[in-house]
Structure 1
Amino acid sequence: MQNRITMANITNYISESFSELKNNVTWPTYAEGQKLMLIVAVFSILFSLAIWGVDEVFSSAIRQYFNWVKS
């Protein structure tokens, strides 16, 4: 009995979620979606390059430190 109540609750939740998405969410237009995707892609590339640069700087510093310690 408990399992049926839980399944009914889950089914009701999914049904209400789809109804909410269909009727109350304002979806962007196709052109707006493309523009936003381009912005996200550009910033993702910029952040990945920044992280790569910091990684290279720290790798170089650690390499130089160990070369200094080894000498």
Structure 2
Amino acid sequence: MKVTELITKLQSLPPNADVICYTEDENIQAEGYMFRIFDIEDISLSEATKIHMPDTQPSLKFEKSESSEPHVIISVTSDF
């Protein structure tokens, strides 16, 4: 999702509503639960390159290089 898409979606929602991140991704679920929620702690901009680790896990290489791009990073926590 790009910043413009996120802004468009958020503008159509109540401005004072809490923003909660939600996932049903089995790799993130706590044992015995069907989904997991996260609270947003911060939003920042970082220069990084999208990569896959040797085990195929998606990751970011945080450094400025010819292949890096600016990425909006949303920091989340599992507690609120």
TM-score using structure 1 length: 0.19
Q: Which one has more relative contact order, counting CA pairs under 8 Å at least 6 apart?
A: 2
Query: Which is richer in strand?
Result: 2
Query: Which is richer in helix?
Result: 1
TM-score using structure 2 length: 0.17
Which protein is bigger by CA-based radius of gyration? 1
